[in-house]
Chain A
């Protein structure tokens, strides 16, 4: 068999280029890692994105603000409520209006429920990435309860488009308070099961501890935020830095660890679920009465530039609106958390085995449509 020049070179070094994705279960979406392997060790990898680029920013330029809310669901579909809230807050800030306390409370409760649901799905899939199928059943069993609450109050399970500039689409279901309280009680019992099943498991610990170190400097340099950044000690929780909605009213801890390996990124999310439960408990009994929608003549941002940061389940989401005073924005840009979290993967997985690459990419909790927009 005749070898080409390139082949000889690769053979001498015993290197292989393997494409992982775009259709690969462990990338959780259409993302391609061009991995250079020496044996089973990853030498370097190059992420290729754009397979699900829909041009949301371009599309939004020809839509009005209440219309473009519906596109934001489709970025990070596991943080749909929080994405809606980000745009709504930015438009409200531009118009100089403030929503009622009732809306603030409901928005915050929905955002925290979303965060729990997102972490549950991440936990399920992360266990599965490492070969533990049971986690998927446990995680989805409990996530179902949250989706039922969403379905009852907002009419949709995944892409709700419920939070809109000026308030909410409609009021929550009368059962909302009762069902959320029930869920919090239920999940407080179930969450320790997660730890028994996976956190204390010796195989799981061997697979995650000391794998994929990310230093604090790297996290800041690459702009890695959310639980992935906090696992390295980066204090980047927007709920603390620039509190919005009802977050100034509640007490909660920002979970950070100084270690920065896969296991500690995992721990941040596990502990965040407890914090989210506590936030919901503090708010759910005190939802005040009030209008759910402001009476606005037209939803138009005055001429200018506006920026709003919120904390989604995966990190910092920024919405940048440039307005000329028209009903639709002149330019809208989303600083999405997953786009910034992705590119560190080359640095933290080089030198590890290919099976560890799956664990590392799982611990970054990437949602691909949020990268590509």
Chain B
């Protein structure tokens, strides 16, 4: 599927989505509430079959946390980038997609560990790299500890 076809197909599934500015891959911006249903639809629809989530990550920006999902199709090899902005920086919450793409279970544990974003309905949400009693979330821009070196 081409870039325009993919974006217009997402538009039929989620009418108020916004196309993103990414030049490299087709990008769509949806809200946290729409994410889970969109994920199921993209995986099930035969024209898209986006069954392979190869990258899920978060970015700390001024307007909130941006969740980035890169999904691809193992058969058709097209790519889609999904972006969800979480404006609430104090208590960021987003539904999990680990029931749709199993790989997300571990990407989301990493994001929870390093960004402190909570994933609703996640089967096993606990820190993956850092100790359980670690204070703070290191990849947030406002994170500081005694080891931080200012440059």
Contacts and interface: CB of A to CB of B under 8 A. Distances in A.
Contact of A49 (B25, B52, B59, B128): B128
29 contacts: A49-B128, A50-B128, A53-B129, A55-B138, A58-B138, A58-B139, A221-B101, A221-B103, A222-B102, A223-B52, A223-B54, A234-B74, A235-B74, A307-B25, A307-B55, A307-B70, A309-B54, A318-B55, A320-B57, A320-B68, A322-B59, A330-B59, A333-B55, A335-B54, A335-B57, A339-B110, A340-B103, A343-B105, A343-B106
A82 interface: no
A228 to B, nearest CB: 14
A53 B74 contact: no
B130 interface: yes
A318 B25 CA distance: 14
Contacts of B102: 221-222
B111 to A, nearest CB: 10
A344 to B, nearest CB: 9
Contacts of B23: 304
Interface string A283-312: 000000000000000000000111101000
A55 B52 CA distance: 26
A372 interface: yes
Nearest to A53: B129
A93 to B, nearest CB: 8
A318 B68 CA distance: 13
In which size bucket is the chain A interface?
Answer: 35 or more
Contacts of B81: 307
A306 B70 CA distance: 12
A73 interface: no
A309 B51 CA distance: 18
Contact of A220 (B24, B52, B60, B110): B52
A234 B51 CA distance: 12
Q: What range describes how many residues of B lie at the interface?
A: 20 to 34
Contact of A62 (B51, B103, B151): B151
Contacts of A305: 22, 68
Given A57-B139, A241-B77, A331 B151 contact: no
A316 B53 CA distance: 12
A331 B74 CA distance: 28
Interface string B114-151: 10000000000001111100000011000000000101
Interface string B36-68: 000000000000000111110101100000001
A350 B130 CA distance: 27
A236 interface: yes
Contacts of A58: 138-139
Nearest to A372: B129
A30 to B, nearest CB: 12
Contacts of A50: 127-131
B11 to A, nearest CB: 21
A318 B74 contact: no
Contacts of A372: 129
B38 to A, nearest CB: 18
B55 A62 contact: no
Nearest to B102: A221
A53 B54 CA distance: 21
A245 B8 CA distance: 32
Contact of B57 (A49, A330, A333): A333
Given A58-B138, A339-B106, A316 B54 contact: yes
Nearest to B149: A62
A221 to B, nearest CB: 4
A68 to B, nearest CB: 13
Closest A-B pairs by Cβ, 10 of them: A50-B129, A223-B103, A221-B102, A53-B129, A335-B55, A333-B57, A62-B151, A331-B59, A220-B74, A318-B55
A23 to B, nearest CB: 18
A207 to B, nearest CB: 28
Interface string A310-342: 000000101010100000001101010001101
A53 B52 contact: no
Nearest to B74: A220
A305 B130 CA distance: 27
A190 B74 CA distance: 36
Which of B21, B68, B102 counts the most A-chain CB atoms under 10 A from its CB? B102
A50 B127 CA distance: 9
